[in-house]
């Protein structure tokens, strides 16, 4: 089964390099990664980094003006050709077996548990040049172990949210309706997906046995994520086949 991975980025080159290095080591035999530069300012740095990535794995680079992530994922997820589609953020360092484990869930939507590194952990990992010596990463709390619970990480979280690494078969994404195709999502795109899923009686699963590392970065609040939410009440509304009621601005 071919897998299409959709990822967007905007600057934060050091974190992006770590993330793409980890994806270049994924051992799944048939996957492609589409990386969308969503309005980066550091274009020259991105180009230099991309030159070093070609030939490592099947990666496609797209440049475009800034766009709400739900619209971006809609556009590029739908035109990808994998039978299984994964949406991933540009801050998460993944394990080599991440896709093998995700695909095993078949028609059950799943997401990868995320360990959140603090600023000191992230800086230390970069100084120690982990990409040239993967064993360096062993000093981090948990070391890929999703059972770890530490003071600098959140406990194992529910797979309900999907803003880090989430996967589903194309058949199920198509049935679900993908994401809302407008500039004003509900808080963050995963809240809208969770509400729709609950109306449909769908539950996500946390991928068993692995975690990914979220690299620290300053919090950025986009006002589009604070827009009013929708309230689907039936299957057609939850699958975006008809409009649902929305809060007032």
How is the chain split into domains, by residue range? 3-246
- Which among 155, 22, 44 is positioned nearest to 90, based on CA atoms? 22
Q: Is the pLDDT of residue 151 over 60?
A: no
| pLDDT recorded at residue 216 | 84
3-state helix, strand, coil in the chain (%, to 5): 35, 20, 45
Residues ≥6 apart with Cβ < 8 Å to 44: none
| pLDDT recorded at residue 101 | 96
Q: Which CATH class is domain 3-246?
A: alpha beta
Tell me the C-alpha distance between 168 and 166, whole Å. 7
| pLDDT recorded at residue 157 | 43
Tell me the C-alpha distance between 196 and 194, whole Å. 5
Helix (H) or strand (E) holding 71: helix 69-79
- Which among 242, 29, 3, 172 is positioned nearest to 103, based on CA atoms? 3
Q: Is the pLDDT of residue 98 over 70?
A: yes
Please state, rounded to an integer, the average pLDDT across all residues of the chain: 81
For 156-212, write each residue's pLDDT tens digit.
444 455 568 999 999 999 999 999 887 765 556 677 888 899 999 998 888 988 888
Residue 136: band (very low, low, confident or very high) from pLDDT cuts 50, 70, 90: low
CA 102, chain centre distance (Å): 13
For 21-46, write each residue's pLDDT tens digit.
889 889 999 999 999 988 888 777 77
Instruction: Report which of residues 192 and 80 the model is more confident about.
Output: 80
For 48-66, write each residue's pLDDT tens digit.
877 777 667 788 888 888 8
| pLDDT recorded at residue 159 | 46
Instruction: Report which of residues 216 and 147 the model is more confident about.
Output: 216
Tell me the C-alpha distance between 153 and 142, whole Å. 9
| pLDDT recorded at residue 131 | 66
| pLDDT recorded at residue 158 | 45
Instruction: Report which of residues 3 and 183 the model is more confident about.
Output: 3
Helix (H) or strand (E) holding 169: strand 165-169
- Tell me the average pLDDT across 62-85: 90
């Amino acid at each position: 089964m071919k897998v299409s991975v959709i990822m967007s980025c905007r600057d934060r080159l050091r974190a992006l390099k770590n993330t793409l290095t980890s994806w270049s080591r994924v051992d799944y035999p048939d996957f492609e990664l589409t990386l969308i530069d969503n309005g980066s300012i550091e274009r020259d740095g991105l180009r230099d980094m991309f030159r070093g990535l070609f030939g490592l794995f099947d990666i496609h680079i797209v440049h475009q003006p800034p766009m709400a992530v739900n619209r971006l994922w809609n556009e590029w997820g739908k035109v990808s050709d994998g039978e299984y589609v994964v949406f991933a953020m540009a801050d998460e360092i993944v394990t080599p077996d991440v896709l093998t484990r995700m695909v095993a869930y078949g028609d059950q939507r799943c997401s990868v548990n995320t360990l959140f590194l603090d600023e000191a952990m992230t800086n230390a990992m970069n100084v120690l040049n982990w990409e040239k010596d993967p064993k360096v990463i062993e000093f981090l709390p948990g070391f890929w172990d999703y059972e770890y619970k530490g003071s600098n990480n959140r406990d194992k979280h529910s797979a309900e949210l999907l803003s880090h690494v989430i996967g589903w078969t194309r058949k199920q994404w198509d049935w679900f309706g993908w994401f809302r195709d407008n500039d004003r999502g509900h808080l963050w795109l995963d809240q809208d997906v969770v509400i729709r899923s609950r109306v449909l009686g769908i539950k996500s699963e946390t991928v068993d046995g692995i975690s990914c590392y979220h690299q620290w970065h300053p919090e950025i609040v986009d006002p589009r994520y604070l827009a009013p939410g929708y309230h689907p009440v039936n299957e057609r509304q939850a699958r975006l086949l008809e409009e649902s009621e929305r809060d007032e601005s």
